[in-house]
Amino acid sequence: MIAASACPVTDSAKIMGRKWSIMLFEEIALDRFEGFNQLLRKTKSVTPKIVSLHLKELETAGLITKKMILRNNCRVTNYTVTAKGREFHEIIRHMKKWNMKWKTAPSYCLSTPCSECPLFCKRR
């Protein structure tokens, strides 16, 4: 977990700066999160422990909510973005636009989720 500091801006930057946080958050914000195991298959190199940790951090920060639902007699965990999370997602979109403006991000950055970005894939 990320330890809280006296500065909420620093705390937000810490969440954003974690390797998998933006990618994971964006999957939920874009309604592409199809479950824990599906995400593990999609990313291949992230561990269940890391996904669980980041989901908990995003939930603790108030960016997402977790809800257990029953589907076909199986418990399924569903995550949704909160109002605070929607605003946070706009910050991410503005960061992408800013990087595209200054030619530090490819033109497809805004239209491509981080999980499908070849640049993000290189980081792993």
Kindly report the pTM of this predicted structure. Answer: 0.84
| Confidence band for 61, pLDDT divided at 50, 70 and 90 | very high
CATH number of the domain that residue 71 is part of: 1.10.10.10
Residue 97 lies in a domain: yes
CA distance 76 to 96: 32
Report how many domains make up the chain.
1
| Confidence band for 122, pLDDT divided at 50, 70 and 90 | low
Residue 1 lies in a domain: no
Structure tokens at 54: 């980041």
Q: Which of 13, 11, 32, 10 lies closest to 113 in space, CA to CA?
A: 32
Tens of pLDDT, residue by residue over 28-56, are: 999 988 888 888 887 777 889 999 999 99
pLDDT at 2: 61
Residue 30 lies in a domain: yes
| Better-predicted residue by pLDDT, 83 or 37 | 83
Residue 86 lies in a domain: yes
Encoded amino acid at 69, one letter: I
Determine the structural domain holding residue 53 and report its residue range. 8-123
CA distance 43 to 30: 16
Residue 78 lies in a domain: yes
Residue 105 lies in a domain: yes
